[in-house]
Every structure is written in structure tokens, then in C-alpha cells.
Amino acid sequence: CSESDLGPISLNWFEELSAEAPP
Amino acid sequence: HVAEQLTPVLPDGPREENLQLMSELKDSSGSCAVDVSTVWWEAAGCRELRVVTASESSVSLWEPLTHNHWGKVYTWQLREIPVIQIIPLPDSCNLVCVALGELEIGEIRILLYSSETDSFKHSLVKTGNIKAVVGLKEQRLVSSSRTLQEQQVEMVSLSGTGGSKDRQTLMPPKETVTAFAEVEGMKEALVGTTAANSIVVWNLRTGQLLRKTHVGYSYPASICHRAYSDSGLLFVVLSHPHAEESESCGNTAFHVVAFNPSSGRSRGVMCSCLPPGSPLLMPPCPCRYLEGDVWDTAGAAVLTSGAVVVWDLLWGRCVAVLPPSPTGHWALTRWAMAGAGLRAGQRDGPVRLYRY
């Protein structure tokens, strides 16, 4: 899969989404 | 007749030697198997993998004897509510978890041996209108249950004595959760699928719902089996028990979908299908995926033809077939823990253990 298919990929997605998501 | 046709029809994959029959569990009670699983069991300082079989009214623990023979150690009788399934708890020891109910799961019980009282017993963990449940590493159990007004998603940490140490509520999505899958390589992440064909991701430590993404109608009625975290992506193994045959993918058993949690975008990367023209697709038609199990990168499924088929999910390649036997059709198939092979059972017949 290329990045263009799936959008920007972040190795730290779990921490980033946890910081953004409602508690 | 079916076995004779398999080799020429599936020339590039399945070979008999990929599944080697090791032994057969002979149950003298004559009860029909509804599920089979494996469990780590420690007794007299020896820790070994044992087999658990379930019928509607009992659950039996089997220990390995000599020469690939197995002997029944104990049977828990559960006569009030039928047993629906065994819920594997990946790294737990001396604990068996079962779901009981009529059409849907009504309660979850832990079956165990108590060294304090030197007796086998069972204890209630959860009741409700339970839609989906999964056992995770470190003796954790996650379930979704539904009332008319709301859905509850809860993680229970089990104690070694069968009680619950801790309960954590996870934020529920609006749609009903139909399945959960642990994420290989991420202890605190959990993946689920919903009745509206979305993939959801939770943070198990905080209970936050991190992402919900619709995976599209190319993969209808998706059920997640397992997920792998790699290079910032989640690779989720899905099956579609209620899907019709599609023109794009043919008769599909499993899909691997790459899911980017950061963007919420997903894309199918591999289909595991039955080759067109396979005798497995012949009457009783239409032959479809009935149920299956995933271990590592191998998927095994029971088809409506009564055969068990094994795929290498990374390559989408069919690698082994157990045709319906003269004594009956296969009704269930499960991978054993720790790479200990495949178990397959017939509704009114034996459970057989295969090395893969």
C-alpha cells in the first residue's frame, strides 16, 4: 500500500489518537 | 469422491501432508461437540497444553497420554443453560472460559480447578445480552452487551481463582459491536467490527474509542478475527459469514485489510478465496464460508460443503483441505495455542487433532 492510498502514516498513531480522543 | 477431485482442482496449494492427523478424542458420552479449544494447565509442577471440548451441557478437559492418545481428566456439567462456545484466554493457566445462552450469549463463566479446596468448580463472570466477546492476554476478557437503550463494552481482568479483579468500561460506538480481535504487538490496543461494517479501535488502558472507520461495502458483514500492528498500520483479518459471492473476489473466506488509524483510511490487501470450479463449491450449493479461526498468518474455515480449508493469509493461498469424511461433515475448526496444530470436529462425531 502506498501512502497516497491510506493517507499520512504515523508510527505514533496510538499515542496521538489517545491524546486527541475524548476521555 | 470429493477427496479424489481435490488434487487436480487445487494443484498449486493444498497438499495432504500440510495437515497430519495426530490423534482423535474419543468421547464415550456420545455428546455432540459444539466447540474445541486448548488451555495451558499446570498440575504437579508440570505445565502442558491440554484440550478442552464443549457439548451443549458439559465441558471436558483432556490431558495428553502416551502415543498421541488423550484421556479425559474432568467434565464440568452445565445443564441449566446450553454452552455456545469456549472463549480462549491466550496466556492464562488452569482457567477455561465459556459462553452460555440460547440464541445469544446470556452469561460467561470461568471453569477452574481450585487447589485450596482440591476441587473443580465454575464461577459467573458476566450476564446480559452479550453480542461479542474475546479473551486477551493477561487474563482479560472484553465483551459487548446491549440493552434497548444502550450498548456496554467492558473489559474484565480475571483473577487466578476465577473472580474479577478489575472492570474497565470502554466507550461504545453507536452501532452494535459484532466481534473483537486482539492486536498482535500492541497490548493496550483492541480492534472491533460493528454491525454497520465499521472497524473500531480502542485504548484498553483508558477505555477511549480512538477511531471508527467504515470499511466499505466491498466487504459486507465483516467479522474481525485478528489484527497485526506494523509500520504505523493495522492489518486486520476479516471474514464475512453472511456475504454473498462477489464478482470482484469470488467466494471469499478471509480478507486482510490494511487500516491506517491516523487517517481512518483502509484498503484490502489480500483475499483468501476458494478457487473457481473447486469441487468444494459443488452441491450443496451455494458453498460458502460458515465459520473459521485465525492463528498467526493461517486461516482455517469450515465451508457449507462440510470441508475444512486452510489458507496462508499473507499470500491468499489455499494450503490444505480436509474433505468431508465418510462419517460426516466438519462443523468446527480451531487453531491450538502455541502452534500446536489444528483441531476439527464433526457435529455428531469425533474431534481430531492435526499437526500443521
B94-107 pLDDT tens trace: 999 999 999 899 99
| Residue % of chain B over a pLDDT of 90 | 62
SS3 B128: strand
Is B267 in contact with A16 (Cβ distance < 8 A)? no
Is B266 in contact with A6 (Cβ distance < 8 A)? yes
Query: How near does any CA of chain A get to the CA of B207, in Å?
Result: 8
Residue B210 has pLDDT above 70, yes or no: yes
Q: How far apart are CA B51 and CA B353, in angstroms?
A: 10
Q: Inform me whether the C-beta atom of residue B171 falls under 8 Å from chain A C-beta atoms.
A: yes
ipTM of the complex: 0.92
Cβ-contact B77, B51 below 8 angstroms: no
B102-149 pLDDT tens trace: 989 999 999 998 877 888 999 999 999 999 999 999 999 999 999 888
Residues of B in contact with A4 (CB under 8 A): none
B22-32 pLDDT tens trace: 999 987 777 78
- The residue with greater pLDDT, B85 or B216, is B85
Residue B345 has pLDDT above 70, yes or no: yes
Is B208 in contact with A13 (Cβ distance < 8 A)? no
Q: Give the nearest partner residue to B208 out of A5, A7, A21, using CB atoms.
A: A21
B150-164 pLDDT tens trace: 999 999 999 888 777
Is B262 in contact with A21 (Cβ distance < 8 A)? no
Q: Inform me whether the C-beta atom of residue B233 falls under 8 Å from chain A C-beta atoms.
A: yes
Per residue in B68-84, is it b (16+ CB within 10 Å) or e — as a string? eebebeebbebeebbbb
Cβ-contact B225, B254 below 8 angstroms: yes
Range 20-59 of B in CB contact (< 8 A) with A: none
Residues of A in contact with B233 (CB under 8 A): 1, 6, 9
Residue B265 has pLDDT above 70, yes or no: yes
Q: Give the nearest partner residue to B262 out of A5, A10, A22, using CB atoms.
A: A10
Report the pLDDT value the prediction gives residue B149, as an integer from 0 to 100.
87
Cβ-contact B292, B330 below 8 angstroms: no
Q: How far apart are CA B40 and CA B337, in angstroms?
A: 9
Q: How far apart are CA B102 and CA B85, in angstroms?
A: 11
Report the pLDDT value the prediction gives residue B3, as an integer from 0 to 100.
43
Is B233 in contact with A1 (Cβ distance < 8 A)? yes
Cβ-contact B94, B41 below 8 angstroms: yes
Residues of B in contact with A8 (CB under 8 A): 262-263
Report the pLDDT value the prediction gives residue B8, as an integer from 0 to 100.
40
B291-333 pLDDT tens trace: 999 999 999 999 888 889 999 999 998 888 888 877 788 999 9
Of B8, B15, B5, B33, nearest to B318 (Cα)?
B15
For chains A and B, CB pairs below 8 A equal 60
DSSP letter string, B270-302? EEEEEPTT-GGGSSSSSP-EEEEEEETTEEEEE
Residue B235 has pLDDT above 90, yes or no: yes
Of B55, B62, B63, nearest to B86 (Cα)?
B55
Kindly report the average pLDDT of chain B as a whole number. 87
Q: Which residue of B has its CA nearest to A20?
A: B210
B160-177 pLDDT tens trace: 887 778 999 999 999 999
Query: How near does any CA of chain B get to the CA of A4, in Å?
Result: 10
Cβ-contact A11, B231 below 8 angstroms: yes
Q: How far apart are CA B67 and CA B328, in angstroms?
A: 26
The band of B66, judged by pLDDT with boundaries at 50, 70 and 90, is: confident
Is B231 in contact with A14 (Cβ distance < 8 A)? no
A1-23 pLDDT tens trace: 555 689 999 999 999 999 999 88
Residues of A in contact with B265 (CB under 8 A): 5-7
Query: How near does any CA of chain B get to the CA of A14, in Å?
Result: 8
The band of B230, judged by pLDDT with boundaries at 50, 70 and 90, is: very high
SS3 B228: strand
